[in-house]
Amino acid sequence: MMLKGKKAVFGLLMGASALVSPQVVWAKGSAAHKHVAAKPTAREAALLARIEKLEAEMADMRAHKDAPSPAADAELAEAKASAAAARQAAAVAEAAASTAADKSSDAVTRVAAIEKARPQGFRSGNSTVNVSGYVKLLMTSARYSGGDDSTNTLGRDIYLPGSIPVYNPASPTSPTRVTDFSAKQSRLWVDASTKLGSHTLKAYIEADFQAAPGTPMAAGQGTQRTTNAYDFAMRRAFIQLDRWTFGQDFTNFSPVSVLPESTDYVGGVDGLIFVRQPQLRYALPVQKGLNLIMSVENPETASSTVGSTTMNENGEDHAPDTTARFEYNGNLGMLSLAGMVRQLRVDNAKVAAAHVVDDRLAWGASAAGKVFLNAKHTSDFRFEATYGDGLGRYLGLNFSPDAVLMANGKLGKVSQLGVFGAGHIALNDKWRVNLIGSYQQVYYAANIDRSSAGIASYNKQAWSAAGNLFYSPFHNVDLGVEYRHGNRELVNGLHGAVDRMEFAAKYGF
């Protein structure tokens, strides 16, 4: 009788197995629309569980039956056949669900590949054009130990070591604190690319509101009292054809990738090379990961006349600044070795009774790099060390002159040493920390007058240390807070310091 009851159960299970096919169809549809792996339904799971229980009972009957009979054996054989059929139906359902899941996963992968390959931007003629940028708010509170940095000057907007007020005991001033809000660093860029047979022609132009020269009143702009309107000024504008670059970009003398993540416009500028200028550049592959990049760039001798700290743009240069840089990129990071040769030239007809033209050879060498600190390349250490003669305008946002025009009409030699380092530490995919240190020392030739009527008030050295914390709650949104201490010292020993607290909010698009 027990076998007859089990036979009835098997009949019921066989009828339930007929429901497997509709469930498989549903699983396929669900996987295709929701992009999720299909799972066995509750009915299928119950079916498998009951089969396993029934098989256990059958094994128990075989072990304990004492008086087998032909009828019982027949019923047992029928039960076995029913169980086998039910298991086969369940296996078919499971295989179908697995196939649906595989197809769904494949579909998701193919869609992602199509989305990635889809051209971004818009078409203009035979070119693809992209418009990108970011909007940034910067809130700054700065304390100056040696007095006040004038309002509406660059030193109030960014950390500018050459503008830190120095304390003079002969005319003492009290420390001051100032607070500024600015959106000048908001940036916009456009890039375009065109296929020319086997070649690719690219164009790029970038501008922001921070680079515009002059104070708001001098430039005819709105003031902080009313509209806070500022000019839109070019930062970079160049075209590329294969390995050639024509236009304005960061100088080839330094790789841009070593610049630190900072709330500031540059960050750690004291010992960093930072110049953007027109140039002609060529990149020559040497071997895998190694390139030789050469350039000729816009020349400009930034000199000072003894007795005055004013920087003069002479515009009398004859030869371009020439650079060559080896850059290696590998699994461990990036390493750059660069050299520069340039001519310094001054026509002093406007500043001396006797018309004298003088020029001198200037040079510089720099080593920079980025070392990854983890396998994901989300943390790294960045560094740069530079030394040379006549590199004034390339280091620390022109912290010192390229040369000093002396009373005899000759150019006095000025050498510079710059050192920079920064650690970029990713705490997770949303939080990261940056620690930044930077230093510059200036060496003036012994024959340059160091009296109060000479170069006593010229910059001698500057250094800064900073730390910041960035949080990205959403894609392309960065919130950062930073503290920086900077120090400036003159040839006469006078010095001043600044402590800056900054908060930045930026959305890139």
> Torsions phi, psi of 168, nearest 5?
-115, 110
- Which single residue is written with the structure tokens 């009398």? 316
pLDDT confidence of residue 218: 59
From the list 346, 254, 341, the residue with the least C-alpha distance to 301 is 346
Other Cβ atoms within 10 Å of 379 Cβ, number: 17
Contact (Cβ atoms closer than 8 angstroms) between residue 208 and residue 235: yes
How many helical (H) and strand (E) elements, i.e. helices and strands, does the chain have?
5, 21
Locate 120 and state its tokens.
Answer: 């971004």
Run of H or E residues at 364: strand 357-372
Other Cβ atoms within 10 Å of 6 Cβ, number: 20
Q: Is 83 left (phi over 0), alpha (psi -120 to 50) or beta?
A: alpha
CA distances from 216 to 153, 165, 466 (A): 9, 21, 29
d(CA 200, CA 242): 6
Type of residue numbered 209: F
HEC sequence for 64-91: HCCCCCHHHHHHHHHHHHHHHHHHHHHH
d(CA 36, CA 19): 22
**What does the pLDDT profile of the chain (509 residues) look like in tens digits?**
444 444 444 444 444 444 434 343 334 343 334 344 445 566 666 666 666 666 666 555 555 544 444 444 555 556 556 556 656 665 665 565 555 555 555 555 554 554 555 557 888 888 899 999 999 999 999 999 998 888 888 899 999 999 999 998 888 888 999 999 999 999 999 999 999 999 999 999 999 999 887 656 556 677 888 888 899 999 999 999 999 999 999 999 999 999 999 999 998 899 999 999 999 999 999 999 999 999 999 999 999 999 999 999 988 899 999 999 999 999 999 999 999 999 999 986 655 556 678 999 999 999 999 999 999 999 999 999 999 999 999 999 999 999 999 988 899 999 999 999 999 999 999 999 999 999 999 999 999 999 989 999 999 999 999 999 999 999 999 999 999 999 999 999 999 999 999 999 999 99
Locate 113 and state its tokens.
Answer: 């590949």
pLDDT confidence of residue 33: 40
Burial class of residue 494, CB neighbours in 10 A (0-12, 13-18, 19+): middle
d(CA 108, CA 229): 48
Contact (Cβ atoms closer than 8 angstroms) between residue 251 and residue 336: no
